[in-house]
Structure formats: C-alpha cells, structure tokens
Amino acid sequence: MFWTNDAPSYKHPALEVKQTPFSGRTYHSNCALTPGSCILDIATPYADTIYKHFRTEVCAECWRYDGGRRTFLTMRDLGENAGLFFCNDQCKASWLGREGEELVELLSGLETARRRKQQGKDKQTDAQAILKLEDIEQYIVGAWDVARRDTMRVKLVRQWKTLQLDDFEADIARYVLIALYHYARELDSQGLDAPGSCCSSSHVRFGMASWDDFSALQSGEQQQISKFPELVNDHVHIYQVLHSRFGTLLPPDCVSPTRKRLKELITIENVRKALSVDPGNSFGIWEVPITEESEGLGFGVYPIPSFFNHNCSPNVRKERDGRRLRFVTTRDVALGEEVCISYGHVEAMGLEQRRKELMDGWFFCCQCSQCMTEGGSTSPTRFVPVSLHICPRAHNVLSGLQRLAARCVPGT
Ligand SMILES: C[S@@+](CC[C@H](N)C(=O)[O-])C[C@H]1O[C@@H](n2cnc3c(N)ncnc32)[C@H](O)[C@@H]1O
C-alpha cells in the first residue's frame, strides 16, 4: 500500500469495537486479515501538545526533530510567541489549512499566561497526606466544586486573568484549548447544515473523530489523581486560566462565530473531560527512530485508535509517520479475533514481570490472551478503567516507564 502524508484517514471496515468482561472495550476484526494489512491510518490527533522545551526544535506540523538542531526549521514562529515553527511552506500551509489563523491567535494568547521564570514546586508533603484519603473521587469533586463556586465571583474571575501557568500546566492547557477549539469548529460546521439534519459528511473532524468520540474515551482521572494528587490543583489552575482568558468577555471587535462558541465551551465539565482522557489514552510523541535515548516531545490524543487494547503478544504494530499513526497487522488475524497492539516493550519479559510493568506504569492487571494462557484461570480480575499516560511532572520518578511508554499505544 502507498501512503502520502496528506492522505485522508482510513479505518478498515472489518474493525469493530466490542465490550469485553476483563479489559473494557476493544477492537475485533469481523473478517480474516492477512499480515501487512493496514487497518487504521489516522492523519492527525484530535488534540496534541509539543512541550515548550522542544517547541523551537520541532516542526509544528510534521513533528520532525533533529536532535535539538534548528537549522531545518525555516519558517519562524507564526504568531506572537505562538510556538509554531515549520520545516517549510508546505508544512506551514498544511497546518494552517487544517487549523486556521484563529488558532494561532488563541495559542499566542495562552502563551502570555506562561510564567517567564519557572519556580520549583515542592508538594511532596501534601501529596503524601492526600494519598491516604480513602475517597479520591470526593477529593476531586471537592476541588472542582470550589472552582465552580469561584466562577460565579466576577471580581475573582477578573483576578484569574493575571494567573500564570508553569511550563507543565501551560503545555497541558495548550492541549485542552486545542481540543475545545476543535469542538467549537465541529459545532460551527453543524450549524451550516440544513435545519433538521442530524449529521453530515461535511462536519469538521480531526483524525476522523468528533468531540463525542473524544469524550467517550475512558477517563483516567481517578487513577492519575490518586497517584499524583497535586495534579488536581494544576487542573483547576488550567481551567481558571482558560476560563478567564477565553470563557468570559470577548474582544469588542470579535466577529468570529467559532470564537463565540469557544467561549461557551470553556466549562468545568469540558475542561475536566479533556484532562481526564489524556491519561490512559494519549500517545506520546517520541523522537524517531525510537531508542533508549529518544526524547518525549509531547503527546496527542487519537480517539479512534484509543480502542486498541494491549496484548503481550500483539497482532498489530503501530507506525508513526509525522503526525499520522498507522496500525498494521503483523500476522494472520482470524474472523472475530481481537486486534491488539503492545503498550510497551514487555513481550520479552516473563508473566510476573510483564504484569508488574503494566500495573506500575498503566495501572491495570493485564488480562490479554497471552497472560491468561500463561497465568491460567486464577488471575482474571474485573475490568476497572485505568490510567496509562505517564505524567511529565513525574518524569524523574517514572523515566524508566516513559521509555517503556515510547512503544505503547497511549504512549507513542
Ligand atoms: C487505550 S484504553 C483501551 C480501550 C479501553 N479498553 C476502553 O474501554 O476504553 C486502555 C485501557 O484499556 C484497558 N486495557 C487495555 N489492555 C488491557 C489488558 N491487556 N488487560 C486489561 N485491561 C486492558 C485498561 O483499562 C487500559 O487502561
């Protein structure tokens, strides 16, 4: 098969999402497939972020990275400090063609909330105290309830405009802003339909996905916050900045319908939803070719491939080509068989070690066919949604796991 970088996304008609008793929803094939069949080819994520540290070294469109050298980036930052650098005119035109000038302005606006001088954070004590809480959900809801009450206090919201985000928060806020902007674009495109029509091929999609697809992804909020309780503060902080900058009064000269929609979409529910699908579903954007030394440049959420479960003996491999992700069968797949990828390089390990790695890194007890065969029937546990994304804030703690994540679903 021949692919080009601007080819549209593709999903094999045989791919079907089915519910399983032990590992949630997952893809099955409703026909036999031969090795080398491309079953999913997704041109772009629904939302993504390149970490600030790499922003001036990575092409914003094709994610080319040359070990920190910048000479190939011939197109300077598109907006005022928007953090958009490109290889050439073609990459710039592709990015602008998909995203539009308005997103450049929004990203520039968000960057003004980035703290110039980063400060260290020491939340160890808080985190340890909070980890003892039995009911993490109550802790999360409590934090958001305070934010909801504060949103009603006009004076306070005005003060939020002066809030500054640290690099970690600003990078995540960028991903949330892009997701909500795409949602606004989608709603705009629906508004263009004749009254009464419920759907149309003209509706804007990103990587074949709508906001409904994006928000239907498994939430990793509880698992992420139970491991890193201090993240709740970062999340509320992100909401406060997005709300005060894009969710309140519009600039007097604003005529853009998308911008007006975006204002309505900056809600606690939507921001929290976008934040909750990142862990467990995002694919790390890693320097290629992947080696032990590869840098993690950012992450993207691709809702359609997020339904691949992990298998310790996968029948599908993932290939990244720029911002495209392709999924190709590695052996014969029988009619009705589950199609899975590997979330990490665990295949060569023994059962115990594999399960430990997946539990430590992704918080689930692996119930794949390989582990079930090796582990017998003593191990199955009921399916509990879990978190897979390795939080950059925890990079030092989890750098080994991040390396593992380099080869994983919600990892690369
Ligand atoms: C990217 S999602 C895959 C889709 C997910 N099953 C769903 O229902 O949305 C990753 C999550 O699926 C589940 N999962 C994936 N592979 C698994 C496996 N081999 N064993 C148990 N759970 C698995 C875990 O909850 C994991 O956090």
Summarised one tens digit per residue, pLDDT across range 37-76 is: 999 999 999 999 999 999 999 999 999 999 999 999 998 8
> How many angstroms does the Cα of residue 26 sit away from the middle of ligand 1?
7
Q: Residue 111 is which amino acid?
A: E
Determine the average pLDDT of the residues in 254-272.
96
Q: Is 20 left (phi over 0), alpha (psi -120 to 50) or beta?
A: beta
Query: What was the pLDDT predicted at 174?
Result: 98
261 neighbors 255 (Cβ within 8 angstroms):
no
**Binding site membership of 371 for ligand 1 (Cβ less than 6 Å):** no
The set of residues, in sequence order, having a beta carbon less than 8 Å from that of 102 and lying 6+ positions away, is 181, 256, 258, 259
Confidence of residue 411 (pLDDT cuts 50, 70, 90): very low
- Listed range (125-134, 257-266, 299-308) with the worst mean pLDDT: 125-134
The parent domain of residue 287 ranges over: 1-412
For CA atoms 181, 186, 187, 191, the dihedral sign is positive
Position in ligand 1 atom list of the atom nearest CA 410: 1
**Binding site membership of 310 for ligand 1 (Cβ less than 6 Å):** yes
Pocket test for ligand 1, best of 213, 283, 302, 309 (most atoms within 8 A of CB): 309
Kindly tell me if the per-residue pLDDT of 392 is higher than 90. no
Kindly tell me if the per-residue pLDDT of 245 is higher than 80. yes
> How many angstroms does the Cα of residue 187 sit away from the middle of ligand 1?
30
**Binding site membership of 380 for ligand 1 (Cβ less than 6 Å):** no
Kindly tell me if the per-residue pLDDT of 389 is higher than 70. no
**Binding site membership of 280 for ligand 1 (Cβ less than 6 Å):** yes
HSE, side-chain direction, 13 A CA sphere, residue 68: 3
Q: Closest residue (by CA) to atom 22 of ligand 1?
A: 23
Q: What is the 3-state secondary structure (H, E, C) of 141-166?
A: HHHHHHHHHHHCCHHHHHHHCCCCEC
Query: What was the pLDDT predicted at 406?
Result: 33
Q: Closest residue (by CA) to atom 4 of ligand 1?
A: 307
The set of residues, in sequence order, having a beta carbon less than 8 Å from that of 316 and lying 6+ positions away, is 39, 308, 327, 328, 329, 330, 339, 340, 341
Query: What was the pLDDT predicted at 4?
Result: 46
Rounded-to-integer distance, Cα 119 and Cα 106, Å? 25
Kindly tell me if the per-residue pLDDT of 127 is higher than 50. no
Q: Closest residue (by CA) to atom 15 of ligand 1?
A: 309
The set of residues, in sequence order, having a beta carbon less than 8 Å from that of 114 and lying 6+ positions away, is 52, 164, 165, 167, 170
Residue among 58, 118, 112 at smallest CA distance from 84: 58
**Binding site membership of 372 for ligand 1 (Cβ less than 6 Å):** no
> How many angstroms does the Cα of residue 306 sit away from the middle of ligand 1?
9
Find residue 27's DSSP bridge partners.
17
b/e burial code for range 336-363 (CB count within 10 A of at least 16 → b): ebbbbbbbbebeeeeeeebbebbeebbb
Q: Closest residue (by CA) to atom 13 of ligand 1?
A: 23
Confidence of residue 134 (pLDDT cuts 50, 70, 90): low
Q: Residue 321 is which amino acid?
A: D
Confidence of residue 200 (pLDDT cuts 50, 70, 90): low
> How many angstroms does the Cα of residue 386 sit away from the middle of ligand 1?
7
Query: What was the pLDDT predicted at 11?
Result: 96
Query: What was the pLDDT predicted at 223?
Result: 84
Q: What angle do CA 132, 134, 135 make, to 5 degrees?
A: 130
> How many angstroms does the Cα of residue 211 sit away from the middle of ligand 1?
20
Rounded-to-integer distance, Cα 27 and Cα 13, Å? 12
Kindly tell me if the per-residue pLDDT of 125 is higher than 60. no
Kindly tell me if the per-residue pLDDT of 404 is higher than 50. no
Kindly tell me if the per-residue pLDDT of 273 is higher than 60. yes
> How many angstroms does the Cα of residue 357 sit away from the middle of ligand 1?
15
Find residue 298's DSSP bridge partners.
50, 285
- Listed range (45-49, 126-130, 184-188, 282-286) with the worst mean pLDDT: 126-130
Confidence of residue 344 (pLDDT cuts 50, 70, 90): confident
Strand-strand pairing, 10-11 and 38-42: antiparallel
**Binding site membership of 26 for ligand 1 (Cβ less than 6 Å):** yes
**Binding site membership of 283 for ligand 1 (Cβ less than 6 Å):** no
Determine the average pLDDT of the residues in 338-354.
91
**Binding site membership of 368 for ligand 1 (Cβ less than 6 Å):** yes
**pLDDT above 70 covers what percent of the chain?**
83
Pocket test for ligand 1, best of 304, 310, 390 (most atoms within 8 A of CB): 310
H/E stretch holding 179 reads: helix 167-191
**Binding site membership of 366 for ligand 1 (Cβ less than 6 Å):** yes
**Binding site membership of 151 for ligand 1 (Cβ less than 6 Å):** no
- Listed range (79-83, 306-310, 317-321, 375-379) with the worst mean pLDDT: 375-379
Sheet holding 282-286, edge to edge: 47-50, 296-301, 282-286
Q: 């549209």: which residue's tokens?
A: 8
Query: What was the pLDDT predicted at 173?
Result: 98
Kindly tell me if the per-residue pLDDT of 391 is higher than 60. no
Confidence of residue 271 (pLDDT cuts 50, 70, 90): very high
Query: What was the pLDDT predicted at 397?
Result: 31
Mean per-residue pLDDT of the chain? 85
Determine the average pLDDT of the residues in 307-323.
96
**Binding site membership of 411 for ligand 1 (Cβ less than 6 Å):** no
More confident residue, 297 or 195: 297
Query: What was the pLDDT predicted at 133?
Result: 53
Q: How many domains does the chain have?
A: 1
- Listed range (27-41, 113-127, 139-153, 179-193) with the worst mean pLDDT: 113-127
Determine the average pLDDT of the residues in 346-358.
90
Kindly tell me if the per-residue pLDDT of 106 is higher than 80. yes
Position in ligand 1 atom list of the atom nearest CA 366: 20
Rounded-to-integer distance, Cα 166 and Cα 170, Å? 6
HSE, side-chain direction, 13 A CA sphere, residue 193: 15
pLDDT digits (tens, 9 = 90+) for 274-296: 999 998 899 999 999 888 889 99
Q: 């601007």: which residue's tokens?
A: 6
The set of residues, in sequence order, having a beta carbon less than 8 Å from that of 26 and lying 6+ positions away, is 17, 18, 20, 307, 308, 309, 338, 340
Q: In angstroms, how far apart are the furthest CA atoms of the chain?
A: 66
Residues comprising the chain, all counted:
412
Q: Is the omega angle on the peptide bond into residue 21 within 30 degrees of 0, that is, cis?
A: no
What angle do the packed helices 167-191 and 231-246 form, to 10 degrees? Answer: 50
**Binding site membership of 210 for ligand 1 (Cβ less than 6 Å):** no
Determine the average pLDDT of the residues in 126-152.
80
Position in ligand 1 atom list of the atom nearest CA 23: 22
Kindly tell me if the per-residue pLDDT of 398 is higher than 50. no
> How many angstroms does the Cα of residue 383 sit away from the middle of ligand 1?
8
Query: 3-class DSSP state for residue 38?
Result: strand
The alpha carbon of 405 is separated from its chain's Cα centroid by a whole number of angstroms, namely 13
Strand-strand pairing, 47-50 and 309-310: unpaired
Q: Closest residue (by CA) to atom 7 of ligand 1?
A: 25
Position in ligand 1 atom list of the atom nearest CA 384: 25
